[in-house]
Chain A
């Protein structure tokens, strides 16, 4: 077990875990941030997507020892003072979710996309979002919500 100091959603956090522990399980089991979801453990579904210095990464294959100084942002860290981001709002307004399990990862991935491309085309969305599975298949609403948020 080793001690790691992390910056998570703007807060300094310290954990004592095995150094190969994926960031996913650090967040979920040690930091009480369970919005980041476990789906596959092999970077195949996107449910665990978080940001490291603004870049979307899969927390299930990111060992905590590889995080270093980079700032971690999770789904819990998107809204500021209870105010939703345009994407979170669009997700609610368009009632995107069915079971909702994948949606945190979808929103984190879409947030990174909009940070890079303020007005993504359908092809941009296909490219950025096709690593995020939705078992309920809410893809058409996800696409629409990204366009809606981008237009705000």
Chain B
């Protein structure tokens, strides 16, 4: 049983080297010293003889709170008071930590059980070490608040005092350790502030863009405004003569959207000199500046039923003119618009690259660098920094590949690449715009009996394969809940890169679908809440068709609908011009229903008074973080639906900065209220599922207030006036 100990020590040497100066106050010498006596039964936990307890946060922190909530899970089982824990960002080492990425709201469901076991392993070993020390049976001892107590005698030993002895014990199998009872939890479910809060409010270096290295140079990278355009000619000599500029060169790139875009790199003594030189650069491009969103939109508006490719057919969907409701919905492309622009810092030395990157997905950056620059993966070290907003943008590794290409050329000199705002808006992987041509029928009893959707979307230069995040699945609601259904799709080939935007797919689909559900409720002359509860039907779990995907639990969805209706005062009579709308959506294993309360003035000015959410994601990890995610998701959903639209003309994105791509501000922020259902289902993630139902709740509320059905976004472009 010596092997695990050797493994642990071996692992420790690796982390000490790989983390370098990145972990605050952590140098190789101190690490070696700590290694000698520290107790570290797995990659996540380190307890020194002095009693310092360090828990490593395995996944990237984009603002979703996992740097706090995942270590909380370990601390709960470790039986250590939270005030005594120091949290450090883990190095990238997927062999030791498992998958390290921030996406799909998967951090909680993927890690909850395993991290509990990591904490329980350490607790079990500390108890065993104490029992051995006292010569008593382990089951007479209990771990509590950072100490092991011998219950019959009252003797106590702190974890630090047990660290050396515990580190000599064999590590038990993670499946064999006893977990705490959920009702004994002391930490999970409480409100805990983010571990980086003190550093955030004092402006300490945390983010990718804050990284420094000795002798650091600053880079700007000029890409063709038209996606995948190549550099034809660039006046490098002129740029090199500009003040502060130390170098400039062309990078050929790989020419594809997911590799390395061709461009001109400008290296300077500071960011400003690089930016100025970028603006002064004379460069011509070889590109097909053809694509037009307006042309796509014209074509999409003409799409007819039956012209698309079948996604799913159930029963006998028939739509005679008499009694069929039809409606066409449209939403635009969106950009992620992370407030921290894309950036990366890297140094290339002796054939190896080391980088500091605000990445949601270090693996994709490593793969991209390896592919584009032919650097073996084992020669690429990525340090995960805190991230100034993810929303799916930083699942892509393009900015890391660019920085690596520049660093490789600079050979030995560290360099930080910073994108400007117009570059960030202009070279995103966009949430795909789309069109839905709906048909629906209710029977005499007001039951939804037939539903059809001809979905028009985009593919990356493909009319067969939808772009990332641009698909409509055959199980998408109300599929499985309506007896007769027909879903079809048409894909427009497009050269605009598409990507995963917060709650991919759902962020767009839920708006169109829950709006047309509302239209059907009114056609059925039913209360929108009642109609939805009836549509969801009996309490049951509906399996995915073909056995793939997640089951849909109608009971849980009805639960959050009733919860939010009760909390929001659903059903109250309101004066004309004010209205409430309701919507629900299941995504990322989470059940969320939202009620919006809006006022629209006669001249069409919108005020969103309040957004209330009912949420069932199982037990909550960190109540403060969880509420923050739901509050933020709802306002983000409102912000996007109200103001945001990316348009592509002559092959390039037209929006350059926040005056053309607006984010909601303080004055328009509604009151928000979050209610979590008490739930014993396994805990699931919260970064995304509250966003999708928000926009339809708002537009349904606008209908209730004004009688105007919004069928196109953004809201800012719609006429909401009424008489």
B62 to chain A, nearest CB (A): 6
B4 surroundings in chain A (CB, below 8 A)? none
- Assess whether B191 is in contact with A137, with CB atoms less than 8 Å apart: no
A138 to B632 Cα, complex, angstroms: 6
The distance from the CB of B691 to the nearest CB of chain A, in whole angstroms, is 10
Which chain B residues lie closer than 8 Å to A116 at the CB level?
none
Q: Are B666 and A132 in contact (CB under 8 A)?
A: yes
Report the separation of the CA atoms of residues A74 and B210 in the bound assembly, to the nearest whole angstrom: 15
Interface residues of A in 97-152 (CB under 8 A from B): 97-104, 107, 125-127, 129-143
A residues in contact with B202, CB < 8 Å: 35, 75-76, 78-79, 84, 88
Closest to A146 in B: B666
Query: Is there contact, CB below 8 Å, between A30 and B337?
Result: no
**Are the CB atoms of A25 and B63 closer together than 8 Å?**
no
Partner of B421, one of A22, A42, A100, A103: A42
Q: Which residues of B contact A78 (CB under 8 A)?
A: 202
Number of A-B contacts (CB under 8 A): 196
Which residues of chain A come closer than 8 Å to B104, judged between CB atoms? none
Q: Report whether A126 and B667 are in contact in the complex, using a CB–CB cutoff of 8 Å.
A: yes
CB neighbours of A20 from chain B (8 A) = 272, 276
Is A54 an interface residue, CB under 8 A from the partner?
A: no
Residue of B nearest to A84 (CB): B201
Q: Check B636 against A136 for contact (C-beta < 8 Å).
A: yes
List B contacts of A18 (CB < 8 A).
243-244, 272-273, 276
B270's partner among A25, A33, A126, A143 (CB-CB below 8 A) is A25
Bound complex: CA A34 to CA B210 (Å): 6
Is B389 part of the binding interface, using a Cβ–Cβ cutoff of 8 Å? yes
Is the beta-carbon distance between A95 and B243 smaller than 8 angstroms? Answer: no
Could you say which residues of chain A place their CB within 8 Å of the CB of B447? none
Residues in B with CB closer than 8 Å to A34 are 203, 205, 209-210, 212
Could you say which residues of chain B place their CB within 8 Å of the CB of A66? Answer: none
Q: B657 — which chain A residues lie within 8 A by C-beta?
A: 40-42, 44
Choose among B196, B272, B390, B639 the residue that contacts A100 (Cβ–Cβ < 8 A). Answer: B196
On whether A101 and B272 interact (CB within 8 A), knowing A18-B244, A132-B666, A139-B666, the answer reads no
Residues of chain A within 8 A of B340, CB atoms compared? 37, 39, 99, 101
Of the candidates A79, A99, A139, which one forms a contact with B389 in the assembled complex, judged by CB atoms under 8 Å apart? A99
In the complex, A126 Cα to B668 Cα: how many Å? Answer: 9
Partner of B204, one of A35, A37, A38, A99: A35
- Complex Cα gap A117–B198 (Å): 25
Please, how many angstroms separate the alpha-carbon atoms of A25 and B220 in the complex?
Answer: 14
Instruction: Return the chain B residue nearest A33 by Cβ.
Output: B203
| B658 interface hit (Cβ, 8 Å) | yes
Taking a contact as CB atoms under 8 Å apart, the answer to whether A38 and B418 are in contact is: yes
- State whether the Cβ of B143 lies closer than 8 Å to any Cβ in chain A: no
Pick out which of these stretches binds chain A: B301-309, B362-370, B623-631. B623-631
Given A17-B272, A25-B271, A38 contacting B341 (CB threshold 8 A): yes
B residues with CB within 8 A of A = 61-65, 191-194, 196-198, 200-207, 209-210, 212, 218, 243-244, 270-273, 275-276, 337-341, 386-391, 418, 420-421, 624-625, 628-629, 631-632, 634-636, 639, 657-659, 663-667, 669, 671-672
Residues of A within 8 A of B625 (CB): 95
Closest 9 CB pairs of A and B: A35-B203, A99-B63, A101-B388, A75-B203, A137-B635, A98-B63, A139-B669, A100-B200, A126-B667
Note all chain B residues with C-beta closer than 8 A to A22. 272
The minimal Cβ–Cβ distance linking A100 to chain B, given in whole angstroms, is 4
A38 contacts B197, CB within 8 Å? no
* Beta-carbon contact of A99 and B658 below 8 Å: no
Q: With the chains together, A142 CA to B666 CA distance in Å?
A: 9
Are B209's CB and A38's CB within 8 A? Answer: yes
Q: Are A95 and B63 in contact (CB under 8 A)?
A: no
Other 20 A-B pairs with CB < 8 A, given A100-B197, A130-B665 = A17-B270, A22-B272, A25-B271, A38-B209, A41-B421, A78-B202, A92-B201, A95-B194, A95-B624, A97-B63, A99-B61, A99-B63, A99-B386, A99-B388, A100-B388, A134-B339, A136-B632, A137-B634, A140-B671, A140-B672
On whether the beta carbons of B193 and A133 are closer than 8 Å, the reply is no
| A–B pairs, 10, beta carbons within 8 Å | A20-B276, A34-B203, A34-B212, A35-B202, A41-B421, A75-B203, A97-B196, A99-B389, A127-B667, A134-B339
Q: How far is the CA of A47 from the CA of B203 in the complex (A)?
A: 11
Looking at chain B's contact residues, the main secondary structure is loop
Complex contacts, B205 vs chain A, CB 8 Å: 34
Q: A32 at interface (Cβ–Cβ under 8 A)?
A: yes
- A32, B212: Cβ atoms under 8 Å? yes
Chain A, Cβ-Cβ closest to B211: A34
Q: Most chain-B CB neighbours within 10 Å: which of A91, A102, A140?
A: A140
Q: Is the CB of A92 within 8 A of B193?
A: yes
Q: How far is it, in angstroms, between the C-alpha of A88 and the C-alpha of B193 when the chains are bound? A: 13
CB neighbours of B270 from chain A (8 A): 17, 21, 25, 29-30
Measured CA separation A90–B258 after assembly (Å):
43
State A51–B421 Cα separation when bound (angstroms).
23
User: Is B665 touching A28 in the complex (CB atoms < 8 A)?
Assistant: no
Q: A34-B205, A99-B63 are in contact. Are A137 and B669 (CB under 8 A)?
A: yes
Q: How far is the CB of B219 from chain A (nearest CB, A)?
A: 12
Q: Which residue of A lies closest to B273 (CB)?
A: A18
A139 with B635: CB separation less than 8 A: yes
Q: Are B191 and A95 in contact (CB under 8 A)?
A: yes
Beyond A138-B628, A140-B631, whether A130 also contacts B341 by CB under 8 A is no
Complex Cα gap A130–B375 (Å): 46
**Closest A residue by C-beta to B204:** A35
Q: Give chain B residues whose Cβ lies under 8 Å from the Cβ of A33.
A: 203
CB neighbours of A29 from chain B (8 A): 218, 270-272
Q: Are A126 and B666 in contact (CB under 8 A)?
A: yes
**Known contacts A21-B270, A34-B209; A99 and B339 CB within 8 A of each other:** yes
- B212 neighbours in A (Cβ, 8 Å): 32, 34
Q: Roughly how many angstroms separate A71 CA and B390 CA in the complex, as a whole number?
A: 35
